[in-house]
A and B are shown apart, each in its own frame.
Chain A
Protein backbone atom coordinates (compact mmCIF):
# COMPACT_ATOMS: atom_id res chain seq x y z
CA UNK A 1 0.00 0.00 0.00
CA UNK A 2 1.65 3.20 -1.18
CA UNK A 3 1.68 6.05 1.25
CA UNK A 4 1.41 9.71 0.37
CA UNK A 5 3.58 10.63 -2.59
CA UNK A 6 4.69 14.08 -3.73
CA UNK A 7 6.43 15.42 -6.79
CA UNK A 8 8.85 16.85 -7.53
CA UNK A 9 11.29 16.27 -4.67
CA UNK A 10 13.16 19.51 -5.20
CA UNK A 11 12.45 22.60 -7.25
CA UNK A 12 14.31 25.84 -7.92
CA UNK A 13 12.38 28.83 -9.23
CA UNK A 14 13.01 32.53 -9.75
CA UNK A 15 11.09 35.36 -8.09
CA UNK A 16 7.89 36.16 -9.94
CA UNK A 17 7.52 32.73 -11.48
CA UNK A 18 4.70 30.28 -10.85
CA UNK A 19 5.03 26.73 -9.49
CA UNK A 20 2.81 23.65 -9.26
CA UNK A 21 3.38 20.90 -6.72
CA UNK A 22 1.61 17.56 -6.84
CA UNK A 23 0.36 15.07 -4.26
CA UNK A 24 -1.21 11.64 -4.36
CA UNK A 25 -2.95 10.61 -1.13
CA UNK A 26 -2.68 7.32 0.67
CA UNK A 27 -4.99 4.67 -0.76
CA UNK A 28 -8.48 5.00 0.69
CA UNK A 29 -8.04 8.63 1.76
CA UNK A 30 -10.26 11.35 0.36
CA UNK A 31 -9.01 14.52 2.10
CA UNK A 32 -5.78 16.31 1.24
CA UNK A 33 -4.15 19.12 3.21
CA UNK A 34 -1.12 21.23 2.36
CA UNK A 35 1.41 22.66 4.79
CA UNK A 36 4.36 25.03 4.45
CA UNK A 37 7.39 24.42 6.64
CA UNK A 38 9.91 27.24 6.62
CA UNK A 39 13.44 26.47 7.77
CA UNK A 40 13.61 25.96 11.52
CA UNK A 41 9.86 26.19 12.03
CA UNK A 42 6.88 23.91 12.44
CA UNK A 43 4.55 23.20 9.52
CA UNK A 44 1.85 25.81 8.90
CA UNK A 45 -1.53 24.84 7.45
CA UNK A 46 -2.22 26.28 3.99
CA UNK A 47 -5.53 24.70 2.98
CA UNK A 48 -7.50 21.49 2.77
CA UNK A 49 -9.47 19.83 -0.03
CA UNK A 50 -12.35 17.41 0.22
CA UNK A 51 -14.75 16.41 -2.55
CA UNK A 52 -12.81 18.63 -4.94
CA UNK A 53 -13.53 21.78 -2.94
CA UNK A 54 -11.41 23.90 -0.62
CA UNK A 55 -12.88 23.31 2.85
CA UNK A 56 -10.51 25.17 5.15
CA UNK A 57 -7.82 27.75 4.61
CA UNK A 58 -5.02 29.02 6.79
CA UNK A 59 -3.53 32.49 6.81
CA UNK A 60 -1.99 32.44 3.34
CA UNK A 61 -2.52 34.94 0.50
CA UNK A 62 -4.52 34.25 -2.63
CA UNK A 63 -1.26 33.60 -4.50
CA UNK A 64 -1.59 30.13 -3.00
CA UNK A 65 -4.29 28.10 -4.69
CA UNK A 66 -5.07 24.46 -5.13
CA UNK A 67 -7.10 21.83 -6.81
CA UNK A 68 -8.32 18.33 -6.07
CA UNK A 69 -9.08 15.85 -8.82
CA UNK A 70 -11.75 13.14 -8.89
CA UNK A 71 -9.10 10.53 -7.98
CA UNK A 72 -8.39 12.60 -4.80
CA UNK A 73 -4.94 13.69 -5.92
CA UNK A 74 -4.17 17.35 -5.46
CA UNK A 75 -2.08 20.23 -6.73
CA UNK A 76 -0.74 23.29 -4.94
CA UNK A 77 -0.10 26.34 -7.11
CA UNK A 78 1.86 29.37 -6.03
CA UNK A 79 1.90 32.48 -8.26
CA UNK A 80 4.26 35.43 -8.26
CA UNK A 81 6.84 33.64 -6.15
CA UNK A 82 8.64 35.56 -3.41
CA UNK A 83 11.92 34.71 -1.74
CA UNK A 84 9.92 34.02 1.42
CA UNK A 85 8.06 31.20 -0.30
CA UNK A 86 11.21 29.08 -0.06
CA UNK A 87 10.22 26.17 2.18
CA UNK A 88 9.41 22.50 2.43
CA UNK A 89 5.84 21.93 1.24
CA UNK A 90 4.15 18.95 2.83
CA UNK A 91 1.04 17.18 1.68
CA UNK A 92 -1.05 15.16 4.12
CA UNK A 93 -3.98 12.87 3.52
CA UNK A 94 -6.74 11.60 5.78
CA UNK A 95 -10.12 9.92 5.80
CA UNK A 96 -13.29 10.72 7.70
CA UNK A 97 -13.28 7.07 8.77
CA UNK A 98 -10.08 7.59 10.77
CA UNK A 99 -11.20 8.01 14.36
CA UNK A 100 -7.88 9.36 15.58
CA UNK A 101 -8.01 12.43 13.32
CA UNK A 102 -4.59 11.42 12.10
CA UNK A 103 -3.02 12.75 8.94
CA UNK A 104 -0.43 10.87 6.93
CA UNK A 105 2.36 13.05 5.57
CA UNK A 106 4.31 12.79 2.36
CA UNK A 107 8.07 13.35 2.09
CA UNK A 108 7.61 16.93 0.92
CA UNK A 109 8.75 19.10 -1.95
CA UNK A 110 11.60 21.47 -1.18
CA UNK A 111 11.07 24.74 -3.06
CA UNK A 112 13.90 27.23 -3.38
CA UNK A 113 13.12 30.68 -4.79
CA UNK A 114 16.12 32.70 -5.99
Chain B
Protein backbone atom coordinates (compact mmCIF):
# COMPACT_ATOMS: atom_id res chain seq x y z
CA UNK B 1 0.00 0.00 0.00
CA UNK B 2 0.88 3.66 -0.14
CA UNK B 3 3.19 5.07 2.49
CA UNK B 4 5.20 8.16 3.39
CA UNK B 5 8.50 8.29 5.24
CA UNK B 6 9.98 11.53 6.50
CA UNK B 7 13.05 12.35 8.51
CA UNK B 8 12.77 12.14 12.25
CA UNK B 9 12.98 15.22 14.36
CA UNK B 10 13.30 17.34 16.15
CA UNK B 11 15.26 19.61 13.87
CA UNK B 12 16.79 22.62 15.63
CA UNK B 13 18.09 25.54 13.56
CA UNK B 14 19.18 29.09 14.18
CA UNK B 15 17.23 31.90 12.55
CA UNK B 16 18.19 32.47 8.89
CA UNK B 17 19.58 28.94 8.51
CA UNK B 18 18.74 26.72 5.54
CA UNK B 19 16.08 24.07 6.09
CA UNK B 20 15.69 20.68 4.47
CA UNK B 21 13.19 18.07 5.64
CA UNK B 22 13.44 14.84 3.67
CA UNK B 23 10.37 12.94 2.50
CA UNK B 24 10.08 9.81 0.37
CA UNK B 25 6.96 7.97 -0.67
CA UNK B 26 5.71 4.66 -1.95
CA UNK B 27 2.69 4.62 -4.23
CA UNK B 28 1.36 2.34 -6.92
CA UNK B 29 -0.26 5.13 -8.93
CA UNK B 30 0.46 8.78 -9.58
CA UNK B 31 -0.24 10.55 -6.33
CA UNK B 32 -0.50 14.20 -5.48
CA UNK B 33 2.02 15.20 -2.83
CA UNK B 34 1.54 17.68 -0.01
CA UNK B 35 3.28 19.36 2.86
CA UNK B 36 1.10 20.33 5.81
CA UNK B 37 2.14 22.43 8.80
CA UNK B 38 0.73 22.24 12.30
CA UNK B 39 1.40 25.02 14.80
CA UNK B 40 1.11 24.25 18.53
CA UNK B 41 -2.47 23.55 19.56
CA UNK B 42 -3.85 24.00 16.05
CA UNK B 43 -5.14 21.89 13.17
CA UNK B 44 -3.45 21.16 9.86
CA UNK B 45 -2.73 23.85 7.30
CA UNK B 46 -1.81 23.02 3.73
CA UNK B 47 1.62 24.55 3.08
CA UNK B 48 2.18 23.50 -0.54
CA UNK B 49 1.33 20.81 -3.05
CA UNK B 50 2.46 19.25 -6.34
CA UNK B 51 0.27 17.13 -8.56
CA UNK B 52 2.66 15.62 -11.12
CA UNK B 53 6.30 14.76 -11.67
CA UNK B 54 8.73 17.73 -11.77
CA UNK B 55 6.10 20.12 -10.39
CA UNK B 56 7.44 22.53 -7.79
CA UNK B 57 5.11 23.59 -5.02
CA UNK B 58 5.93 26.81 -3.19
CA UNK B 59 4.45 29.01 -0.49
CA UNK B 60 5.77 31.46 2.13
CA UNK B 61 9.37 30.81 1.05
CA UNK B 62 9.04 27.03 1.30
CA UNK B 63 9.56 24.86 -1.77
CA UNK B 64 9.34 21.17 -2.67
CA UNK B 65 9.81 19.44 -6.02
CA UNK B 66 7.97 16.23 -7.00
CA UNK B 67 10.75 13.81 -8.01
CA UNK B 68 9.26 10.64 -9.45
CA UNK B 69 12.63 9.06 -10.25
CA UNK B 70 13.66 9.19 -6.58
CA UNK B 71 10.09 9.09 -5.17
CA UNK B 72 10.90 12.13 -3.07
CA UNK B 73 9.32 15.45 -2.11
CA UNK B 74 11.84 17.20 0.14
CA UNK B 75 10.82 20.46 1.83
CA UNK B 76 13.28 23.37 1.70
CA UNK B 77 13.47 26.97 2.85
CA UNK B 78 16.41 29.26 2.34
CA UNK B 79 16.14 31.26 5.56
CA UNK B 80 13.98 30.09 8.44
CA UNK B 81 12.37 32.35 11.01
CA UNK B 82 11.36 31.74 14.61
CA UNK B 83 7.74 31.82 13.45
CA UNK B 84 8.40 28.72 11.29
CA UNK B 85 8.67 26.59 14.44
CA UNK B 86 6.00 23.92 14.00
CA UNK B 87 5.47 20.30 13.01
CA UNK B 88 5.66 19.55 9.28
CA UNK B 89 3.86 16.59 7.70
CA UNK B 90 4.55 15.13 4.28
CA UNK B 91 1.51 13.45 2.76
CA UNK B 92 0.11 11.88 -0.40
CA UNK B 93 -3.30 11.24 -1.90
CA UNK B 94 -4.27 9.49 -5.10
CA UNK B 95 -7.11 8.18 -7.23
CA UNK B 96 -6.66 4.67 -5.91
CA UNK B 97 -6.90 5.98 -2.39
CA UNK B 98 -10.07 7.89 -3.16
CA UNK B 99 -9.01 11.09 -1.41
CA UNK B 100 -7.66 9.19 1.59
CA UNK B 101 -4.55 11.08 2.64
CA UNK B 102 -1.56 9.14 3.93
CA UNK B 103 0.66 11.12 6.29
CA UNK B 104 4.22 10.77 7.44
CA UNK B 105 4.95 10.79 11.14
CA UNK B 106 5.82 14.49 11.16
CA UNK B 107 9.03 16.44 11.77
CA UNK B 108 9.15 18.98 14.55
CA UNK B 109 11.16 22.12 13.74
CA UNK B 110 12.54 24.45 16.39
CA UNK B 111 14.04 27.75 15.23
CA UNK B 112 16.15 29.69 17.74
CA UNK B 113 16.56 33.46 17.62
Contact = CB atoms under 8 A, between A and B. Distances in A.
Contact of B44 (A44, A99, A105): A105
Given A101-B32, A103-B93, A103-B99, A90 B44 contact: yes
Contacts of B93: 101-103
Decide if the interface of chain B is mainly helix, strand, loop or mixed.
loop
Nearest to A31: B99
**How extensive is the interface on chain B, given as a class?**
20 to 34
Contacts of A48: 98-100
A42 B102 CA distance: 9
29 contacts: A31-B99, A33-B99, A33-B101, A35-B101, A41-B105, A42-B104, A42-B105, A42-B106, A43-B44, A45-B101, A48-B100, A55-B98, A56-B98, A56-B100, A92-B101, A99-B51, A100-B32, A100-B51, A101-B93, A101-B94, A101-B95, A101-B97, A102-B46, A102-B49, A103-B93, A103-B101, A105-B46, A106-B43, A107-B43
